[in-house]
Amino acid sequence: MSTSTPSAETALPRFRRDPDGTHPALLSPEYGSTRLRAPLQAPVDLPQRLTELTGPVLGEGLVRPDDADLTRRYAEEPGGQRIIVSGRLLDNDGRPIPDSLVEIWQANAAGRYHHDQDNWPAPLDPNFDGMGRTLTDAEGRYSFTTVKPGAYPWKNHQNAWRPAHIHFSLFGRSFTQRLVTQMYFPDDPLFGQDPIFNSVPEAARDRMIAAFSLQDTRPNWALAFTFDIILRGSDATPFESEGS
C-alpha cells in the first residue's frame, strides 16, 4: 500500500464498534419475521472512510414547530395519560450531539396505530396520529409531549403482546452513528414474553427502558419519563480541541 497522504479524511474521527452484547442478533428466531429477513452471510468489514464518517444535516423543512407535541395537533386532545418524554442524545464518551433530528412514532393510548395495516379491534383516536419530530438543542436535549402508548397484541406467537413502547430514530452526526430503537416503560409485566425486547442481550436491555421522573412532571398536567440515547463515540477529534 502507498503511504497515506494528508487529507480531509485523516482529520475526521473514527467511530468505535459497539462491543458484543450491545445489539440483537439479526437472526432471532423467536421473533418470527427475522427468519426470512435476516441476512445469513457474515457482514464484510467496511473501513470507515469519508462516506461513513460524514452524515446529513437534517431538519430544514422536516420539523414544524408543533411536531414535538403530539397532543395539540387536532381540534381536541387525544385520550390517555399525558406524558413528557425527554432526554439527551449523547455519544458514548458523554459528548452531547446538538442540532440532530429525532423522529418518534407510537400507538395511541389504546394500543392502536394510525396506520391502515393495523386493524385489531381497539379504538382509533381521531385526535392522535402518533408522529413526533424535533431537533436536539445545543446540549443534545430533546423533549416530546405525548400520551402513554398502550400495549397491543400481535401474531408472533400464541397470545403475544408488545409491551408499550415508542419508536425512536436517530442520526447523530455521521452515517455510522445512525440508530433506530424502541423506548420502553419501567416495570412492564409484558417484557418476559416479548421476543423483540428480549432479542437484545440481557445486560443491555435496561438501556431501552425510560425512567420515571417526578422532577420532570408538569404539576397538574403531565407525568414524565426520561430517556437518554447513546450513540457510538469516536476517538478524539480536532473539533474537540478547538472547543466551541
Catalytic (active site) residue 113: yes
| E strands in 65-208 | 82-91, 101-106, 131-135, 141-147, 152-154, 160-162, 165-170, 179-184
**Beta carbons within 8 Å of 229's beta carbon, 6+ residues apart:** 87, 88, 89, 90, 168, 170, 179, 181
Q: Applying CB under 8 A, which part among 74-82, 88-96, 142-150, 214-222 lies near other proteins?
A: 88-96
Residue among 20, 117, 219, 220 that touches other proteins (CB under 8 A): 117
Q: Which of 162, 173, 184, 232 is catalytic?
A: 162
Q: Is 120 in the site for other proteins (CB under 8 A)?
A: no
Catalytic (active site) residue 167: yes
Count of residues interacting with other proteins (CB under 8 A): 93
**Beta carbons within 8 Å of 42's beta carbon, 6+ residues apart:** none
**Beta carbons within 8 Å of 228's beta carbon, 6+ residues apart:** 87, 88, 89, 90
Q: Which is nearer to other proteins, 116 or 220 (CB)?
A: 116
Return the exposure string of 123-160: e unless at least 16 CB atoms fall within 10 Å of the residue's CB, then b.
eebebbbbebbbbbeeebebbbbbbbbbbbeeebeeeb
**Are residues 86 and 211 in contact, defined by beta-carbon separation less than 8 angstroms?**
no
Catalytic (active site) residue 232: no
Q: Applying CB under 8 A, which part among 9-17, 78-86, 119-127, 218-226 lies near other proteins?
A: 9-17
User: Cβ of 85: how many Cβ atoms within 10 Å?
Assistant: 28
Catalytic (active site) residue 114: no
What does the per-residue mask of binding to other proteins show for 205-244, with x meaning CB under 8 A? Answer: x-xx--------------------xxxxx-xx--x-----
Q: Is 194 in the site for other proteins (CB under 8 A)?
A: no
Catalytic (active site) residue 162: yes
Q: Is 185 in the site for other proteins (CB under 8 A)?
A: no
d(CA 97, CA 86) in angstroms, rounded, equals 15
What does the per-residue mask of binding to other proteins show for 43-82, with x meaning CB under 8 A? Answer: xxxxxxxxxx-xxxxx--xx--------------------
Residue among 71, 86, 136, 176 that touches other proteins (CB under 8 A): 176
Q: Which is nearer to other proteins, 119 or 221 (CB)?
A: 119
For the annotated catalytic residues, the residue numbers are: 113, 152, 162, 165, 167
